[in-house]
Every structure is written in C-alpha cells, then in structure tokens.
Structure 1
C-alpha cells in the first residue's frame, strides 16, 4: 500500500487501482473539533483537485479536494453519525471516501510521508 499527500492536507492510500482518501492529522488540528462531514456519493466522477467532500468544525467549513482523478466507490457513512472520528483517527478510521483511480500517474505529483512532514514543518 502506498500513501501520498497533497499540499491541501489530504492523504490517499492506494492499493492497486483503489484509493482511500481522508484529511491529515495536521488538517484536523487546524480545523479543531469536527462537527459535520459530507462525503461524496458513490458513482461521482472526480478530477484531480475537484471539491470532493465538505468538513465543518467549530472554527470553519472546509472543502476536501480529490488528490487524484477517479470514480467514487464509497463514502464513509460512519462520519455522518460520528464526525468526531476525524479528530480521533484522521489517517485511519476517519477516511472520507474510496475511489477507483482513472489516472494513476497523478500520484507522481503528490508527496510521500517524508516530503509531507517536511512541508508541514515549513508551515510552522
């Protein structure tokens, strides 16, 4: 499994042609207490950089952008009932959606963990 990150603080874990997308620990800390999540519907076709989901916290509402192009296969329904999962497990249980990649080469434009950690360190 490969994990890649965006400058907008999304992560994607890829296995074969399937990807799972969420927001990073850094993003959930910046947002504060998450009170609402709206993942995309299955069947939605996304292009890299498209608004894919909405996350709202006590501080702000924010878009979650698609790190790669693909077709959504599943939204994480558990987040509707338990949006606080994003604060508790941002890079594991609180994934936002799964998709089938339509342009796997787009992964090459994303950062690996070391590059993302260095990027975040530069923001502090």
Structure 2
C-alpha cells in the first residue's frame, strides 16, 4: 500500500497539497503516482509568478516508462519551485512528500481546500482503482 500522510489534501489525479500557517501551499505528487511512473527523469514545472488553477495542468512528470501531466490541486500564484529537481528529478521517487515537492503557491482561496480529499478518501479512491 502506498504511503498517504494524514496532514495533506489530495486530488484524484494523485497530487497532494500541504498548507502552511502563512497561507502558502506546497504541491507534489503522491507516493502512488511516483510508483506508477517508475524512475522519474524529468519534471516540468510552472515558473515563479505564474498562476496555476485548481484541477488544471501545471506541469509534467516524465519517467523511463511514460509522461504524465501534473495537475494543481489549488489555485494561486507560484512563489517558489523546487529547483533541485532540475538536476535530481529522482527525488520525486525517493521522497515524494518531502524533498521531492514540486512548487509552492500563495493560495487564492483557502475555501478551495474544502473540496479536496483527505487521506482516508484518497486511500479509498486507490482501493477502487
């Protein structure tokens, strides 16, 4: 079974979001997603200053097996990207909930988080897959 941290929110396309007290949110792909992708060789990310929209494409993850769109769980302005992934995209495989995070946004609407899945609901969605 994939690791599903309880402190995160999830979307059905296998991305997670962690909200900080300052209203910023960190986004990444789930353990399940990195396992399905296999060895990640490239991560395409939005640029700082871009606006990402919840449920819409925000980047791409390429592996030795396939390429997959990365969707943003939330809407907001990108304030930081994980530049380390340029040289070490495998961090997404090694630590998807830690050092393998993708980007951070300033949330446009915290209420948007209410529509996301919690860990239990995300786990159930995996069981149904």
TM range (shorter): over 0.9
Deviation string 1:38-91 (CA, Å, 9 cap, x unpaired) is 221110011112211111001111111110110000110000100111110011
* TM-score, scaled to structure 1: 0.94
Q: Is the 8 A contact 1:53 1:96 kept in 2?
A: no
Match of 2:124 among 97, 118, 124: 118
**Do residues 38 (structure 1) and 44 (structure 2) align?**
yes
Q: CA RMSD in A?
A: 1.3
Q: Which runs of 5+ in 1 are unaligned?
A: none
Aligned to 2:15: 10
Partner SS state of residue 35, structure 2: helix
Correspondence 1:26 to 2:32:
yes
Distance 1:110 1:83 in 2: 26
Supply the distance in 2 between the matched residues of 1:105 and 1:46 (Cα, whole angstroms): 16
Quote how far apart the aligned CAs of 1:107 are.
Answer: 0.6
Question: What is the total number of aligned residue pairs between the two structures?
Answer: 123
TM-score by length of 2: 0.91
Alignment of 1:1-124 (within 5 A): 2-16=7-21, 17-123=23-129
